[in-house]
Structure 1
């Protein structure tokens, strides 16, 4: 294990000015590893809306407990192990790895296979480390990082051991490793919500509101599970068409419906509603409509991140007698070390076409990647180092 700093390139997010992001590709220093850290050289990193939110909000914004600016984000990394800390046991130098979220290992949920609900989740994944990197241009000023235990917007990064999934034995080549970069967050969240949290079966009728990378991953998972009906809901025609190619049986363009969304769903389900409803938007009025059209004893699952001050008004007696369940999904409720290999197996079997969702960009074109993600042209950008 090296005991000296090394130099690398990273996308450094500085404090926004007049609401505008200030992201620059810069040279930074990476301090020596701690005992439970792994030095990973990235080959690719997916871009997630969480990166955009946490990289553009003013310091102190409620809901964004990230290190102070400047900071290095990125939490869908793929790469190769270059060095390991003295207490690391799960990988060795040269191993191919995919990166996911960090967790404490010790709390109730970590001990019982649901680390996405770790008692220390916010601290380990958002707050991170205010001294994860050092600037080469400002007299070694500290740069925050360890975002989701990884900060994969750096070509070389110190990664928490819990964030690492060893995929050396199950990927075919380096090109697959690049393709699979988004599996560790957005894709696993959408798919895991369907297969693990909701425990979907062939008898279920599923509705997915919002067809970004997370929502489309949920569509793919519902299709491979063989759900009876899969209703895709969005306002972007191209994403609805994509959902159709991924297995959606019904499409609802919210720009074109004549009545209310609950009425449209009831028409499609013979007045029953959907047994599994997934919101991937975080838009409260859509969540409220989703609760309405969820079938009695059905599950309404929240994936999209609503404003921190958002609330729901639920009529208690009506909700009680309906038997509906309102659930929150963090990272799909999965254990990444088990679920990421499962998704790769599905891909190899031709059942999980994640390649349809992605577009690759050189890291120097990260601005274009972000712009295309925001305007809807690209569903899941992947930056290549």
Structure 2
């Protein structure tokens, strides 16, 4: 498994680099073909390479991604290594170790009949070219198991996720010379400052639509902001990016209403609000029965008791749950530091998690439809 993991990690696969994704898909596809005894179907959508294996009529969907947030060249500063039971390298946790565990789990079964494996290449940027593939696969299945990393170093599974929305507030003003006649301008930067404060205060109103006892309150966070063109010109244009995490569909819809109701405070300024929902929430009900099954299996295997936690980050499991397919997430590698310099995997936990997944798939496949 470590040799397979090294092979995946040293083949860099930055989401924005389509050529790198194509090379990565070849490596992932070869690994899957060797362990599963079948070649993948390669699906390229808008230049992004995805892989799919289908065995018979699927009842179980195994879902992963091979893209990472690490630009090509990151191996120079974050090389592959294994020391003191810890594996490191770009994307090792999120989520190349999960892919290795997934293939080995499926290979350990007498047959993969009834399983669909989908590995997409754009999860880290919201799965814009693979969402339809994911939802289509999920609708025909009794369960989806997502090979994203565990929620923490203790190996907790992800039983609920907030939904995500992304917005851009565009402020339209009027340019003027900042020294000679600033009064003739309409300062988009000043108006943007008003809007940042207004957006930051929307959380309480959005939460009133349903905070969700497990997932907590809706968060509405201004992130990126830009304004102006030159140092001596009243800014005619400003932009504000907004990140929204909502625990329920009601809260997500309420946030959308609030964002689109924003109004300008500066006379003459005008607002345009773009964007909207990206991923729907994965609410706790979608994972409850699968988590109970996983807990029983872990006990039977002599593993430590499983914990399930709700997290603010989204994954493709949000799509499968919203499509009506029971979904359990966080079944991949155990470690921490995803997207950060500290990204790592606990090597000793790889085999136990692989065995857990294998039994989950096997039990689900024999459960009457």
| TM-score normalised by length of structure 1 | 0.24
**Considering only CA atoms, is the larger Rg found in Structure 1 or Structure 2?**
2
Which structure carries more relative contact order (alpha carbon 8 Å, separation 6+)?
2
Higher strand share: 1
